[in-house]
């Protein structure tokens, strides 16, 4: 019950009216350790209408409840934003894509490195994805 309140507040804070379905979707995505794609969600919530899922993700994205990640896999992935994230350039962090398990993780404590652009260029978005082996996949080889 207390958990439910937490999710309701999280939606309201982002200006999203908390419906039962939105709560279900938020609860599901908040439980992921890795970034998820629309099809991951469709698979897990197979009782929910696909276009509803799509529209809800778009809404969450627009309201900065989740951010999107292009990890080069061909499908856009999403992850829940930290509470004070506004998805501005300052809020962006590095992502890590594991080539073995295909999971993509938020490295929330690693800010995107500052780049110095030539005059006349202005930055509006950054997609910074590191690739390699995640902790689980490299676990056996670390000594």
Is 89 near Zn ion (CB under 5 A)? no
Is 37 near Zn ion (CB under 5 A)? no
| Single residue of 10, 37, 79, 104 touching Zn ion by CB under 5 A | 79
Residue 11 or 134 having the CB closest to Zn ion: 134
CA-nearest of 88, 135, 84, 143 to 107 is 135
| Single residue of 21, 23, 85, 137 touching Zn ion by CB under 5 A | 137
| Single residue of 101, 110, 127, 132 touching Zn ion by CB under 5 A | 101
For 58-70, b/e burial (b = at least 16 CB within 10 A) is ebbbeebbbbebe
Is 98 near Zn ion (CB under 5 A)? yes
For residue 69, give both structure tokens: 């990640």
Q: What are phi and psi of 82, to 5 degrees?
A: -70, 155
Size of the site for Zn ion (CB under 5 A): 7
Q: What are phi and psi of 107, to 5 degrees?
A: -100, 75
Only one residue has tokens 């930055």, namely: 123
Residue 48 or 111 having the CB closest to Zn ion: 111
Residue 111 or 137 having the CB closest to Zn ion: 137
**Dist CA 106 CA 98 (whole Å):** 12
Q: Specify burial of residue 3 (Cβ count, 10 A radius: 0-12, 13-18, 19+).
A: exposed
Is 134 near Zn ion (CB under 5 A)? yes
Residue 18 or 40 having the CB closest to Zn ion: 40
Residue 56 or 71 having the CB closest to Zn ion: 71
Residues binding Zn ion (CB under 5 A):
79, 98, 100-101, 106, 134, 137
């Amino acid at each position: 019950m207390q958990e439910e309140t937490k999710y309701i507040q999280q939606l309201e804070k982002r200006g999203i009216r908390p419906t039962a379905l939105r709560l279900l979707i938020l609860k599901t995505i908040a439980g992921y350790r890795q970034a998820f794609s629309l099809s991951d969600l469709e698979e897990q919530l197979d009782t929910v209408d696909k276009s509803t899922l799509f529209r809800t993700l778009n809404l969450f994205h627009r309201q900065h409840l989740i951010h999107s990640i292009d990890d080069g896999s061909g499908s856009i992935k999403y992850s829940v934003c930290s509470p004070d994230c506004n998805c501005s350039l300052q809020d962006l962090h590095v992502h890590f894509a594991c080539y073995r398990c295909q999971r993509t993780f938020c490295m929330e404590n690693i800010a995107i490195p500052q780049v110095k652009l030539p005059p006349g260029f202005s930055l509006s978005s950054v997609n910074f994805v590191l690739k390699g082996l995640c902790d689980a996949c490299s676990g056996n080889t670390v000594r």
